[in-house]
Amino acid sequence: MDMPNLNTTHHFDVIIVGSGGAGLSLALSLPDHFNIAVLAKSELTDTSTFYAQGGVAAVLDETDSIQQHIDDTMIAGAYLCETAAVRQTVEGGKASVDFLLEHGVQFTLDEDEQLHLTREGGHSQRRIIHAADATGRAISTTLVEQAREKSNIVIFENFIAIDLITTRKLNSGNQPNRAVGLYALDEKNEGVHTFLAPFTALACGGAMKAYLYTSNPDIATGDGIAMAYRAGCRVANMEFNQFHPTCLYHPKARSFLITEAMRGEGAYLRLPDGERFMLRFDERAELAPRDIVARAIDYEIKRLGIRHVWLDISHKPAEFVKEHFPTLYAHLLGLGIDITRDMIPVVPAAHYTCGGVMVNENSQTDIEGLYAIGETSYTGLHGANRMASNSLLECFVYGLSAARDIEAKFRPCLKVPDVPAWDATQVANPDEDVVILQNWDELRSTMWNYVGIVRTTKRLERALHRIEMLKREITEYYRDYHVSKNLIELRNLVLVSEMIVRCAMQRKESRGLHYTLDYPELSPELRKTVLIPPNFGVEQPLVNH
């Protein structure tokens, strides 16, 4: 149900930050007697899930197998994936698909009225269920509709989480750290509300707005990762940032993605002279994992001094193209590109955060009562590179597992302590918002130029120097002035950018999405890169990685 007119302190059983596939799968899987808050930074459908074009990977065909899906994932992840997490996710595919079907998601069917399966880069079999080329839209709108109909789910749109509230932060004693809620800004009314609950879940997506060019919606500013780290959670593998190979290059289209399924259905990548250049980089050509394809495109763009390459599916029958990619066909036709006849100009763009907040098999973080799900989390599934359509699957598998864990741990006697209201008496109204805009632009340009698809130690050192200066300026600004959406996001983004650089500097090899000219070879050691916050607890962490 929609948000009623409540006081500025709200009490719930579970608080969920984020309204994408991860957050809503958790909300809809909890028992109806739980009182649940769902916080969305913008509208409920303004999520990465909504914009996902590809689909959900799951072993559903008799010619496929769990082991094949596991093997494909390990290969795509450059063998840095954690086997237990991969197996849990892959084995949870059928249950996740059943969950979506039970909640009314309409997927594309084949001639036999069975779920149509397509194939994407890195997959050895057709195992991607989809809703034409707008799977995310179908999933998001359906789950949002279901959530709005639930009387136990209270929706807070345009509420931006600021910081978590933990028992250690409240009492400063050497005791187990438990999350008891968070502060959030009501953007429309400019007030800060206090949300209290024995269980909190961060499902706020990734951090690819750290880069100048990205396929992500504006909400992807690393809020959950930054908040969890500040509260005392470990973060892992932030150096692995996936650049989607094919983002539309067009002055009238902002952050528009060309689905990987197009290459799965036979589209070619071409240079201006028509050459299919991917054959020179990998025997799998256009179906190579995304990191290989993105680096190849980046190399050719820099080698030839061109602004983009071309994606071409015009050799396929026109009716085939329109049937498989109706959304893309209509959208691009509106921009003057007929994909049944014309090639599509494309460039790589920052797309997915493979690292995140460390969690166990139940999405539990290092802090009791705090969960992280989806792109906010590090489960161990993606390793050094996310395989296409595994991310939506991860949202549902871990959303369902978090729901089971919360239900098992819930006790009516669980109470949260008294929490002081947000204190804004010592700050002033900002005098020059241009400071935020300047720092925002400088941060994203620094990340794009120095911490992009190809890296060097010198570039990383320069990036870290600039980020540390920006972080000091932003921290000072945050302490002196009233919070705003832009300031909250910038504060989170500069911290997450620092994490990306520090993780990248620790990895002395080129593996998966992290490619450095100074260490072009693979290291014989397989290890994740872990950042430990200064306030990390001395008690036994809950994460079992």
Q: Which of 410, 401, 408, 406 is nearest to 381 (CA)?
A: 401
Report the alpha-carbon distance of residue 358 to residue 356 in Å, rounded: 6
Establish whether 290 is a catalytic residue.
yes
Q: At CA 115, angle to CA 111 and CA 117, rounded to 5?
A: 95
| Catalytic member of 119, 290, 459, 491 | 290
Q: How many helices (H) and strands (E) does the chain have?
A: 16, 20
Report the alpha-carbon distance of residue 404 to residue 400 in Å, rounded: 6
Beta strands in 420-539 (DSSP E): 530-531
Report the alpha-carbon distance of residue 332 to residue 252 in Å, rounded: 11
Do residues 9 and 194 make contact, with C-beta atoms less than 8 angstroms apart? yes
Q: Among positive and negative, which fits the CA dihedral 81, 84, 87, 90? A: negative
Distance between start and end Cα atoms, the chain: 37
Report the alpha-carbon distance of residue 443 to residue 25 in Å, rounded: 33
What are φ and ψ of residue 47, in 5° steps? Answer: -140, 165
β-pairing, 56-57 vs 235-236, is unpaired
Do residues 163 and 492 make contact, with C-beta atoms less than 8 angstroms apart? no
Q: Catalytic amino acids?
A: 290
